[in-house]
């Protein structure tokens, strides 16, 4: 049941193994458990799988007989072949096989367990073929992955999985008649496997093959990109967002001013207590004041998420890739799912930890611009963590000067060729930054020059030095600007 549940989810190889199912009855059951939690899924699976086990003529029981004979005849030769190929002794002489009725073979390295699919048809070949495939994984895992001095040790989980699956291409026709057919693999790996196979055919040297594969791997592995999902903010989410804007009167964004412009009904209540930082009290006060209006807003705008989603989808992949190249860093795994809430709020806050941000209803091009702006923050702070080992969470939020820096750098980071070719747009940092003058030179012009003349790592470090050195001046001039002008901007 474990394999059925795991196999019906998406894999890193670009398609769900559910598509490997070759008969209608199994497919119907698999379709029914997709997306279900453990208990309801097992409720469906248990009687279905138990019947296969009980029926002595079932494919499962026939396979077990075939496997027993196949292993009796060939297991020893298979082990010898692997020792020859990898030039290392078998890491174990004992394996446990679980025959599974779901078309996914998988292994548990620590316990030497192999899940073997109960079929010899199509791509599956004889059981010994499957054993060689999985046992090659074991050799590779213990002798390379677990070896701290090997570069294989440093690969990410996804990279290691991708590499180990591709390496089985060497279980080819030369191993016949020990095996019944050459090893097959995932369609997304064909090109990588081809170059590995050519290398193997030329040298027959597994160590060199690993070295070669490591060098080529980055050119072939499909890099996963983040996706943004839009939804409407609930009234509680909006109230929560508004509650922390009330005490904010300083900084480059005059938050409470912007808030009262959008919700004049709140102004008379809070105007005399702007220093009230008790968030819970604010929430209690705000909710009854805005609920009715917000409900009406939601009814009118219930299609917005879908509309924005369609606008954004055309830009998502191109932008995510261009930004990753711009900042010279991969997207972290925890950033693959970004959520965007839409609601009646005066600014667009972003939350680095939860990979989410909020926007208000806006024109098409601003939806795109804002999404790019907020995603830029997510990846910029990843870059920050890489550059400055002693980073702290509080640096990522107002009022820290590093937060100022992250907003200042929106302009030079996003106005680059790669991103402009995805979305031609003049990205602007906060208006207040363009008025800041230090030693007779506009700050934004100075920063842009740094970015023109340095690689991204040096540009960020040098801009950081410059902003730190002039922190007081920047803060002062931004505050003055905010007090003189109130404009609607994003965070
Ligand atoms: Zn921002």
For 401-457, the DSSP string reads: HHHHHHHHTHHHHHSSHHHHTTS-------HHHHH-EETTEEHHHHHHHHHHHS-HH
Q: How far is the centre of ligand 1, averaged over its atoms, from the C-alpha of 377 (Å)?
A: 7
CA of residue 32 to ligand 1 center, whole Å: 43
Would you say residue 154 has pLDDT above 50? yes
**Lowest pLDDT segment from 7-16, 27-36, 255-264, 346-355:** 7-16
Q: What is the mean pLDDT of residues 370-389?
A: 96
Spacing, Cα 330 to ligand 1 middle (Å): 20
Q: What is the mean pLDDT of residues 364-373?
A: 95
Computed over every residue of the chain, the mean pLDDT equals: 88
Structure confidence by residue, pLDDT tens digits, 199-248: 999 999 999 999 999 999 988 887 778 999 999 999 999 998 888 777 66
Under 8 Å between Cβ of 181 and 129: yes
Query: How many angstroms separate the alpha carbon of residue 373 from the centre of ligand 1?
Result: 6
Give the distance (Å) from ligand 1 centre to CA of residue 205.
Answer: 52
- Report which secondary-structure segment, H or E, holds 400: none
Q: State the distance from the centre of ligand 1 to the C-alpha of 407, rounded, in angstroms.
A: 5
- pLDDT confidence of 278, banded at 50, 70, 90? low
Please tell me which residue, 13 or 146, carries the higher pLDDT value: 146
Highest mean pLDDT among 267-271, 433-437, 482-486: 433-437
Find the 219 Cα to ligand 1 centroid distance in Å. Answer: 33
166 C-alpha to ligand 1 centroid (Å):
41
User: Is 63 a residue whose pLDDT tops 50?
Assistant: yes
Position 33 scores a pLDDT of 85
pTM of the model: 0.61
d(CA 365, CA 483): 28
> For 458-485, how does the pLDDT look when each residue is reduced to its tens digit (9 = 90+)?
999 999 999 999 999 999 998 888 777 6
CA of 490 to the centre of ligand 1 (A): 6
Closest listed residue to residue 90, CA positions, set 106, 77, 102, 108: 77
Compute the 3-state secondary structure of the chain and give helix, strand, coil in percent, each to the nearest 5.
Answer: 60, 5, 30
pLDDT of residue 153: 94
Beta pairing class for 113-117 and 106-108: antiparallel
pLDDT recorded at residue 247 = 62
- Predicted pLDDT at 488: 45
117 Cα–ligand 1 center, Å:
51
Task: Write out the H or E segment, with its range, that includes residue 37.
Answer: none
């Amino acid at each position: 049941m474990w394999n059925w549940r795991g196999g019906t989810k998406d894999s890193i190889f670009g398609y769900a193994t559910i598509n490997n199912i070759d008969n209608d009855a199994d497919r119907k059951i698999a379709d029914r458990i997709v997306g279900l939690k453990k208990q309801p899924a097992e409720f469906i699976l248990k009687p279905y799988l138990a019947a296969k086990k009980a029926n002595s003529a079932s494919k499962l029981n026939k396979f077990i007989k075939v496997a027993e004979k196949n292993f009796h005849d060939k297991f020893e030769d298979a082990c010898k072949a692997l020792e020859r190929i990898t030039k290392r002794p078998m890491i174990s002489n004992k394996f446990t096989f679980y025959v599974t009725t779901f078309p996914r073979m998988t292994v548990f390295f620590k316990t030497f367990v192999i899940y073997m699919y109960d079929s010899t048809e199509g791509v599956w070949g004889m059981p010994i073929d499957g054993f060689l495939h999985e046992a090659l994984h074991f050799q590779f895992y213990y002798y390379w992955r677990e070896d701290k001095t090997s570069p294989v040790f440093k690969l990410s989980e996804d990279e290691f999985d991708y590499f180990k699956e591709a390496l089985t291409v060497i279980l080819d026709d030369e191993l016949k008649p020990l095996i019944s057919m050459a090893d097959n693999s995932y369609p997304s790996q064909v090109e990588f496997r081809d170059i590995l196979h050519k290398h193997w055919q030329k040298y027959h040297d597994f160590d060199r093959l690993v070295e070669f594969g490591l060098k080529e791997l980055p050119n072939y592995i499909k890099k996963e990109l983040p996706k943004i999902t839009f939804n409407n903010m609930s009234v509680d989410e909006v109230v929560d967002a508004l509650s922390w804007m009330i005490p904010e009167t300083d900084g480059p964004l005059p938050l409470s001013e912007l808030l009262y412009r959008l919700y004049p009904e709140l102004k008379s209540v809070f105007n005399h207590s702007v220093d009230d930082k008790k968030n819970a009290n604010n929430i209690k006060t705000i909710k009854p004041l805005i609920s009715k209006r917000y409900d009406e807003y939601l009814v009118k705008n219930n299609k917005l998420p879908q509309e924005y989603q369609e606008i954004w989808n055309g830009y998502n992949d191109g932008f995510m890739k261009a930004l990753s190249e711009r900042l010279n860093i991969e997207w972290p795994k925890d950033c693959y799912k970004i959520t965007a809430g839409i609601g009646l709020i005066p600014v667009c806050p972003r939350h680095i930890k939860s990979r989410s941000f909020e926007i208000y209803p806006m024109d098409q091009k601003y939806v795109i611009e804002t999404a790019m702006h907020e995603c830029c923050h997510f990846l910029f702070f990843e870059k920050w963590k890489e550059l400055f080992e002693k980073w702290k969470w509080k640096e990522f939020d107002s009022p820290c000067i590093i937060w100022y820096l992250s907003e200042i750098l929106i302009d030079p980071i996003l106005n680059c060729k790669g991103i402009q070719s995805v979305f031609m747009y003049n990205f602007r940092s906060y208006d207040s930054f363009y008025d800041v003058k230090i030693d007779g030179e506009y700050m934004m012009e100075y920063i842009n020059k740094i970015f023109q003349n340095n690689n991204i790592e040096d540009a960020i470090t040098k801009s950081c030095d410059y902003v730190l050195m002039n922190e007081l001046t920047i803060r002062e001039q931004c505050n003055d600007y905010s007090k003189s002008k109130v404009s609607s901007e994003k965070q």
